[in-house]
Amino acid sequence: MLKTASLRDRTRANRAAAKIRREGGGTLATHCTAKGLRRRQAKSVAGSLRDKAEKLGIAGTPGVFFRGGSKHDGSLYTGEEVARMALIYTPRIEAYKIVAAELRRLAN
């Protein structure tokens, strides 16, 4: 059965959110995907948030990821860490502004 784009996006977002709940954290792109961004958009926002993490001194938890049969090193971030990064993130694109606002709400 062929999935429509909206169903595919919603499925991807739900799976990302479940992974974050299950593991207690995720990559920056996973957090953005969980808020409804597509992969390419999530990677763009994640790159910007990664710069903010460096400014704030947030290192995250080191992790190893497997993608396409190869191993990659990276960092996992909790919702609170992502929220702190989102506080100083000022996007220009409207969709990114909405996601940034949702990420800020993760701060406790």
Q: What is the pTM of this model?
A: 0.88
Q: Are 103 and 91 within 8 A, CB to CB?
A: no
> Which pair of tokens denotes residue 34?
């969980």
Q: What is the pLDDT at residue 28? A: 94
Q: What is the pLDDT at residue 2? A: 56
Q: What is the pLDDT at residue 64? A: 86
Q: What is the pLDDT at residue 75? A: 94
Q: Give CA separation, 14 vs 17, 33, 39, 41, in Å.
A: 5, 9, 14, 17
Q: What is the pLDDT at residue 107? A: 62
Q: pLDDT in tens for each of the 108 residues of the chain?
A: 557 888 999 999 999 999 999 998 999 999 999 999 999 999 999 999 999 999 999 999 998 888 888 998 999 999 999 999 999 999 999 999 999 999 998 765
